[in-house]
Structure 1
Amino acid sequence: MIRLGLICVFWIAGALSTTAQTADPAVAALAAANRLDTASVQLRDASSARDRVKALTETVRAYEDGLGAMRDGLRRVAQRETQLTTQLRARQKDVSDLLGVLQTIETSEPPVLMLHPSGPLGAARSGMVLAEITPGLQARVDALKYDLEEVQTLRLLQQSAAKTLEEGLIGVQEARSQLSAAIADRTDLPLRFVQDPVRTAILLSSTETLTGFADGLSEIAGGEEVVLRTDINDRRGALALPLQGLVIRGYGEPDAAGIARPGLLVAARPRALVSAPTAATIRYLGPLLDLGNVIILEPQSGTLFVFSGLAEVYGEPGQVIPEGTPVGLMGGATVQADAILSLSGEGAGTDRTETLYIEVRMDNSPVDPETWFQTGRGG
C-alpha cells in the first residue's frame, strides 16, 4: 500500500513533465519509486532494529523525493496552462475572425460559392485564392485545436492529482510514525557517555548563550567518556545538508530586524526529516534557550554541528550514530492535497514554511557552515 501512492506520483509526474516538455520531475519520481521498492524489500527482510530504522528512513526519503517531484511537475503544468490561456486570450479577435470565416465557408451553398460578380474568370481566380489560403487556415485551426486540447489535458491532470497526492501524503505520514517508533525501540547504538540529568539541568538554567552552553557540554557527561578519534576534515565542503531545503540566509547575513547570526537558515517543508550528515556523537538534544528543540552533534573532537528549530528530536545523549541516521522532524502541520494544488502555480519554495538553523562550531567558535556543507548557492 505504501508503494502504491508513490507509483501514482511517478505516473502523474511523468505525464506532467511530458506536457511541460521536461523530464526532470518524472526522472526524480521514478528514482524515488525505485528507492521505495528497495526500501520495502529491506523492511520486509529487516532482522534487527538497525535494519528496520534504515529501511524506514529510506522509505520516508523516497516519499519526500517523489512528492517533491510531483509538486515540481504540478507547478510547471500550472505555469504552462497560464501561458496557454494568456496566449489564447490575446488571440481572441484572431480566433473569432477565423471561426467566422470557417463558419461562412461551411454554411454557404455550393452554387453560391461558384458565383462571382466578374463572371467565370473571377470565380476561377477566387477558387485559386481559396485553394492557396485553405492550407494556412487549416494550419491555424489545427494549432488552435492543439492548444485547446492541451489546456483541457492540463486541467484534467491537475484534478486527478488530488487523489494521488492524498495517497502519497498518507503513505509518508505512516512511514514517519513507524520510523519514530522504530528509533524509540532501538537499543544497539554504542554510548560514549551517559548524560547526568542534574548537571544538565544546572547547565541549562545557568546558560544565556549557545556559546556558553557549548562550552559546558563536557560537564553534563557522567562516567568515563570514550575518546573520539575520528577525523572528517577531508570531507569539509562536501557534506549534504541534514534535510531537503533551500538556504534563505547565509552566515552573518542580517535578517529583517537587522540581526546577524553565525549560521545558515534553511527553509524546509513541514515534517521534513532531519538526518545526521556524518557519523557523530549526540552531545545534547532537547529545548535550549529560545532556539526551540536543538540537537548538537559532535562528528570529531572540537567540532560541533548545531541544528535548531526541530519539532521532534530522536536519540539519546552519548549515542554514537551512523551517517544518515534520522535525528528529528521539522514542525508544521501536514499539508493537505488541496493546499499543495493551490500552491502549484507559485514559484518554487512557497510551501517551505519551516526553518532549520544550522551552526558549526570549531574549538567553540562559530565558522561558516558553507565551508562544511554543500548548499547549491555557488561560491
Structure 2
Amino acid sequence: MRGLAVICALITGPVWAQSPADDAQAAAVRLGEARVALDAADGRSDRVAALTQTVQAYEDGLAALRDGLRRAAIRQRTLETDLASRSEEVARLLGVLQTMERSPAPILLLHPNGPTGTARSGMMLADVTPALQDRVVALRAQLEELAVLQGLQGDALTILADGLQGAQDARAALSKAIADRTDLPSRFAEDPVQTALLLASSETLEAFASGLVETQTGSGPDAATVKGAIPLPVEGQVLRGFNEADAAGIARPGFVIATRPRALVTTPVPATVRYAGPLLDYGNVMILEPAKDVLWVLAGLEQVFGEVGQIVPEGTPVGIMGGQSPSAQGILTESGQGSAGQRSETLYLEVRDRQSAVNPAEWFAVE
C-alpha cells in the first residue's frame, strides 16, 4: 500500500507550464532579424529611419533575451530542485515500471486471495497503469525541458555577444547617418553669438529656457492636438514624478526616468530643435519645441543629434543615453542570479509652457 501511495502522490504532483526557453529563443531570432535589417539599411533611401528601427529592434531583442534568460534560469533551478526533492519517489516509480515490464501479464494478475482478490488487483492495476504512463510522459517532458534549458545557457553567450556587437554597430551607423543627413527642413538658422550670450547669462535651466521662449522665430509643429497621449521619448520607468523629492530632499519640476545604458532617445512627435549641447550641470541637453511657447527639456544625454532650427519628424533620434552596456558574460551572470538587467541611467524630462514648468503628465501618457 505504501508503494501505491507513493505512486499516487507522483500522479497528482504538479504539472509544469511551458518552458520560458521558447521566449528566449524567439528573442534570439529577433536579434538575427535585426542583423539582417542592419545589413540592408545601407541601401535604403530612408537610412536614418531604417537604422533607428534597427537600433530599437536590437534594444527590444536584447531586453527580451535578458528577460527570457532570467526566467529560464529560474525555471531551471525550479526543475532541478523539484526533481532532486522527489528523487526517491521517482526512483520507486521507475522501479515499479521496470518490474511491470519484466513480469508476464498473467502473473501480475494473480492474487493469493483467489479469484476475488485477483479481480480486485486487476481493476486497481487497470486504473493505475494509465496514470503511471501519464506521469512517465510528464517526467520525460521535465527532463527534456531541463536539457533544453541547459543547452540554452550554452548558446546564449554567443547570441548575446553577437547582439551586443550588432547594437553597437547599429548605433555607430545611425550617428553617421544623422551627421550626413541634409533632408530636414530648417525653421530658422541658429545665431551662435546670441546662444553663447544666453548661455553665459543663464545661471539656471529656468532662465535659459525662458530666454529661448523670448526668442521665438516663425511657426513650427503643433502637438497640442495629441496632448496627454504622447509616449515618453525613451523606454524606461519614471522614478520620480513632478516636484517629487529625491532621497536628499531635492524636488525638481520634471520627471526622472530610469533607462538602460545606451538607450535611444527619440522625439515622439514632430518638433523644432531649440538647443542641443552641454548646459550648466545637466550634461548634454536637447531642448525641443513641439508647440508654440512649449519646450521639452531632455537632460542627461551622452550624445545629442540635430541642429538648432531643424524640424525633426516623429520618431527621429535626438540622443543616446550614457553608461556602458554589460558584457555578454555579465548578462548571463545577472540572469543566473534572477535579475533582468538594471536601468542604471536617468533622463530628466521637464516641460515648460511659456515661462513656467508644468507637470509632464499633462503632455505624456505615463503608466
Bin the TM-score by the shorter chain.
Answer: 0.7 to 0.9
- Scaled by the length of structure 2, the TM-score of the pair is 0.80
Is contact 2:273–2:311 with CA below 8 Å preserved after alignment?
yes
1:211 aligns with one of 200, 206, 214 = 206
1:80 aligns with one of 69, 72, 75 = 75
Is contact 2:28–2:159 with CA below 8 Å preserved after alignment?
no
Q: Kindly tell me: are residues 106 and 363 of structure 1, through their superposed partners in 2, closer, same or farther at Cα, counting changes over 3 Å? A: same
Deviation at 1:318? 2.2
Please name the residue that 1:289 is paired with. 280
Is contact 1:36–1:58 with CA below 8 Å preserved after alignment?
no
Distance 1:326 1:302 in 2: 22
Deviation at 1:374? 2.1
Deviation at 1:295? 0.6
2:231 aligns with one of 240, 247, 251 = 240
Distance 2:329 2:297 in 1: 35
Q: Kindly tell me: are residues 193 and 122 of structure 1, through their superposed partners in 2, closer, same or farther at Cα, counting changes over 3 Å? A: closer
Distance 1:110 1:38 in 2: 62
Amino acid of the structure 2 residue aligned with 1:329: I
Please name the residue that 1:357 is paired with. 348
Please name the residue that 2:222 is paired with. 231
Deviation at 1:353? 1.8
Distance 1:109 1:166 in 2: 56
Distance 1:279 1:208 in 2: 29
1:265 aligns with one of 244, 256, 262 = 256
More moved, 190-199 vs 308-317:
190-199
Is contact 1:309–1:330 with CA below 8 Å preserved after alignment?
yes
Alignment of 1:311-326 (within 5 A): 311-326=302-317
Deviation at 1:269? 1.6
Amino acid of the structure 2 residue aligned with 1:301: K
CA deviation vs aligned residue, 1:137-195 (integer Å, no higher than 9, x gap):
33333222221211121221232122222222222211111111121222343333443
Alignment of 1:26-65 (within 5 A): 26=26, 43-46=42-45, 51-65=46-60
Deviation at 1:34? 7.1
Could you tell me which runs of 5 or more consecutive residues in structure 2 were left unpaired when the two chains were aligned: 1-16
Amino acid of the structure 1 residue aligned with 2:131: G
Please name the residue that 1:5 is paired with. none
Distance 1:218 1:134 in 2: 81
Please name the residue that 1:173 is paired with. 168
CA deviation vs aligned residue, 1:273-313 (integer Å, no higher than 9, x gap):
11112222211111222211111111222100111111111
Q: Secondary structure in 2 aligned to 1:343?
A: helix
Amino acid of the structure 1 residue aligned with 2:292: S
Is contact 2:213–2:355 with CA below 8 Å preserved after alignment?
no
Is contact 2:70–2:340 with CA below 8 Å preserved after alignment?
no
Q: Kindly tell me: are residues 35 and 233 of structure 1, through their superposed partners in 2, closer, same or farther at Cα, counting changes over 3 Å? A: farther
CA deviation vs aligned residue, 1:110-155 (integer Å, no higher than 9, x gap):
9997997768986776566545433333333322222121112122
Q: Kindly tell me: are residues 313 and 142 of structure 1, through their superposed partners in 2, closer, same or farther at Cα, counting changes over 3 Å? A: same
Amino acid of the structure 1 residue aligned with 2:345: E
Distance 1:265 1:318 in 2: 26
Q: Kindly tell me: are residues 242 and 18 of structure 1, through their superposed partners in 2, closer, same or farther at Cα, counting changes over 3 Å? A: farther
Distance 1:69 1:356 in 2: 22
Is contact 1:267–1:352 with CA below 8 Å preserved after alignment?
yes
Deviation at 1:263? 1.4
Distance 1:332 1:290 in 2: 17
Q: Kindly tell me: are residues 237 and 35 of structure 1, through their superposed partners in 2, closer, same or farther at Cα, counting changes over 3 Å? A: farther
Amino acid of the structure 1 residue aligned with 2:344: T
Please name the residue that 2:364 is paired with. 373
CA deviation vs aligned residue, 1:251-281 (integer Å, no higher than 9, x gap):
2222222322221122222111111122222
Amino acid of the structure 2 residue aligned with 1:152: A
Amino acid of the structure 2 residue aligned with 1:323: E
CA deviation vs aligned residue, 1:85-110 (integer Å, no higher than 9, x gap):
34334434432443454466668899
Q: Note the aligned Cα RMSD (angstroms).
A: 3.6
Distance 1:114 1:352 in 2: 65
Q: Kindly tell me: are residues 290 and 110 of structure 1, through their superposed partners in 2, closer, same or farther at Cα, counting changes over 3 Å? A: same
Q: Kindly tell me: are residues 278 and 131 of structure 1, through their superposed partners in 2, closer, same or farther at Cα, counting changes over 3 Å? A: closer
Amino acid of the structure 2 residue aligned with 1:190: P
Is contact 1:296–1:304 with CA below 8 Å preserved after alignment?
yes
CA deviation vs aligned residue, 1:33-78 (integer Å, no higher than 9, x gap):
77886776564142xxxx2222222221222223233233333333
Amino acid of the structure 1 residue aligned with 2:156: A
Please name the residue that 1:70 is paired with. 65
CA deviation vs aligned residue, 1:178-232 (integer Å, no higher than 9, x gap):
111121222343333443444434433433321111112267x7xxx74125322
Could you tell me which runs of 5 or more consecutive residues in structure 1 were left unpaired when the two chains were aligned: 1-16
Please name the residue that 2:131 is paired with. 136
Q: Secondary structure in 2 aligned to 1:344?
A: helix
Q: Secondary structure in 2 aligned to 1:311?
A: strand
